[in-house]
């Protein structure tokens, strides 16, 4: 009976791991399993769950805003509107001050509690 060579076993293990990584890279980069490549124009704006299997989603795709009804077996376009991508979503956000951080809010609340 021959003895086991640990160096040969390690090389075989590394070869199998390398093949696995190469296969995963190929699946991610060359097939639809890896998602999209390039610029992504699709964003989910809001989701409302109606019940455990049904929901309504608002998403933007390019210059359109879509309202979709999603069930377990069907996706239905409920409404579609054009969106001007140069304007902000709401006019107040352009002139509004940034919200204070957690530390500032906590300090304000603690100061109010002392008074």
**Domain boundary assignment for the chain:** 1-37, 39-90
Longest C-alpha distance within the chain, in Å?
86
pTM for the model stands at: 0.44
CA distances from 25 to 19, 28, 35 (A): 10, 5, 12
pLDDT in tens, the chain (115 residues): 578 888 999 999 999 999 999 999 888 877 766 555 556 788 899 999 999 899 999 999 888 999 999 999 999 999 999 987 555 555 555 556 677 777 888 888 888 877 7
**What local confidence, expressed as pLDDT, does residue 101 receive?**
78
CB of 75 within 8 A of CB of 97? Answer: no
**What local confidence, expressed as pLDDT, does residue 20 receive?**
97
């Amino acid at each position: 009976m021959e003895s086991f060579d640990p160096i040969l076993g390690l090389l075989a293990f590394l070869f199998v791991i390398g093949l696995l990584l190469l296969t995963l890279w190929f699946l991610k980069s060359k097939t639809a399993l890896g998602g999209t490549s390039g610029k992504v124009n699709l964003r989910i704006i809001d989701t409302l769950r109606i019940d455990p299997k049904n929901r309504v989603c608002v998403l933007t795709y390019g210059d359109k805003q879509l309202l979709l009804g999603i069930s377990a077996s069907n996706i239905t376009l409920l409404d579609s509107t054009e969106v001007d991508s140069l304007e902000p979503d709401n006019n107040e956000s352009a002139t509004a001050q940034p919200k204070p951080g957690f530390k500032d809010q906590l300090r304000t609340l603690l100061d109010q509690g002392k008074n």
